[in-house]
Amino acid sequence: MYNIAEYANGVYGILNARWKVICETPLVIRNGVRITQVKPDESKNRNVNNWFAWRERNEEKKLESEVTSLNFGYEVVNGKVRPYYKIPASSVRGSLRSWTINHLVHPDFLDVSMPAMTNEAAIKAELVGRALADPKSGYQVVASLFGQALNTEGEDNLSLAGRLAVTIKDLSGQVAKPFSFNGITDGSKEFNGPKNARQQVTVRNPLDRVTHASKEGALHQFMEFCKGETFSINLKIANPRPADLGFLSVLYREINAGMLRFGALSSIGRGRVKIEESSKCDLWLANYFDKSIFGSIHPNSERQSDILSELWEQYEIPLTSLTGYEQYLENELRGSHGA
Amino acid sequence: MNKILKGEGFQNRYRFSGTLTTESPLHIGTGSSSNDPKFFSQGEIKKFKDEKKDPPEVSLIIKDVNNKPIIPGSSLRGVMRHWLQDVLAGFGNQWSQIRNYEERTLTELDQEEQIQRVKDFSWVEFIFGTPFHEGKIDIWDAKCATATDKKNGNEKKFLGWDDNTLTYVETSVAIDPVKGTAIDKLLYKYEVVPPGVKFEVDIVGQNLSDLEIGLVLLALEGFNSHIYPIQIGSKGGNGYGRVKYESGKIYGLSNTEVKDWLTGMLNKGDKSNDGGYYMLPELSEDKKSSLIKEAKSAITGGLQSSR
Chain B residue with the nearest C-alpha to that of A161: B237
Kind of pairing between the strands at A220-225 and A230-238:
unpaired
DSSP per residue over B271-283, as a string? G--STTGGGS-B-
pLDDT of residue B225: 97
Q: What integer pLDDT is reported at residue A8 of this predicted model?
A: 86
Q: Do B148 and A236 touch (CB under 8 A)?
A: no
pTM, to two decimals: 0.91
Mean pLDDT, residues B90-110 taken together: 91
CA dihedral B176, B177, B180, B183 (to 10 degrees): 10
| Cα–chain center distance at B247 | 14
Substitution target from A14, A65, A81 for chain B, most B beta carbons within 10 A: A81
CB-CB contact of A36 with A210 (8 Å): no
The set of residues, in sequence order, having a beta carbon less than 8 Å from that of A282 and lying 6+ positions away, is A15, A16, A300, A304, A314, A315, A316, A317
The secondary structure of chain A in percent helix, strand, coil, rounded to multiples of 5, reads: 25, 30, 45
State the pLDDT at residue A338.
44
Work out the average pLDDT over B221-250: 95
Q: What is the pLDDT of residues B163-191, one digit of tens each?
A: 899 999 998 887 777 777 777 777 789 99
Q: Is the separation of the CB atoms in B264 and B279 below 8 Å?
A: yes
Given a cut of 90, is residue B87 above it in pLDDT? yes
Dihedrals phi, psi of A198, to nearest 5 degrees: -80, 125
Describe the crossing of helices A139-146 and A121-133 by its angle, rounded to 10 degrees. 110
pLDDT per position as a tens digit, A109-159: 877 766 554 456 667 777 888 888 888 888 889 999 999 877 666 666 778
Report which of residues B177 and B100 the model is more confident about. B100
| Residues 205-264 of chain B whose Cβ lies under 8 A from any Cβ of chain A | 218, 221-222, 224-228, 235-239, 242
DSSP 8-class letter at B269: G
Min Cα–Cα distance to chain B from A332, Å? 22
DSSP codes joined into one string, A159-198: -B--SEEEEEE-TTTT---PEEETTEEP--SB--S--SS-
Amino acid at B216: V
d(CA B220, CA A259): 42
- What is the ipTM, given to two decimal places? 0.90
Whether the pLDDT of residue B18 is over 80: the answer is yes
Is B210 a residue whose pLDDT tops 60? Answer: yes
- Would you place residue B307 in the very low, low, confident or very high pLDDT band (cuts 50, 70, 90)? very low
Residues of chain A with pLDDT under 50: 117-118, 338-339
Tell me how far apart the alpha carbons of residues A222 and A30 are, in angstroms, rounded to a whole number.
10
CB A162 to CB B228 under 8 A?
no
What is the pLDDT averaged over residues B133-144? 96
Find the CB nearest A77 among B196, B237, B242: B196
Nearest CA-CA partner of B199 in B267, B146, B150, B257: B146
For residues A31 and A193, the answer to whether their CB atoms sit within 8 Å is no
Say what the pLDDT of residue A42 is.
Answer: 79
Classify the C-alpha dihedral B33-B36-B38-B39 as positive or negative. Answer: positive
Residue B135: per-residue pLDDT: 95
Lowest average pLDDT, out of A37-41, B223-227, B230-234, goes to A37-41
**What is the longest distance spanned by two Cα atoms in chain A?**
74
Lowest-confidence segment of A107-111, A140-144, B37-41, B127-131 by average pLDDT = A107-111
Q: Looking at the complex, does the CB of residue A239 fall below 8 Å from at least one CB of chain B?
A: no
Q: pLDDT (tens digit, 9 = 90+) per residue, A288-318?
A: 999 999 999 988 877 788 999 999 999 999 9
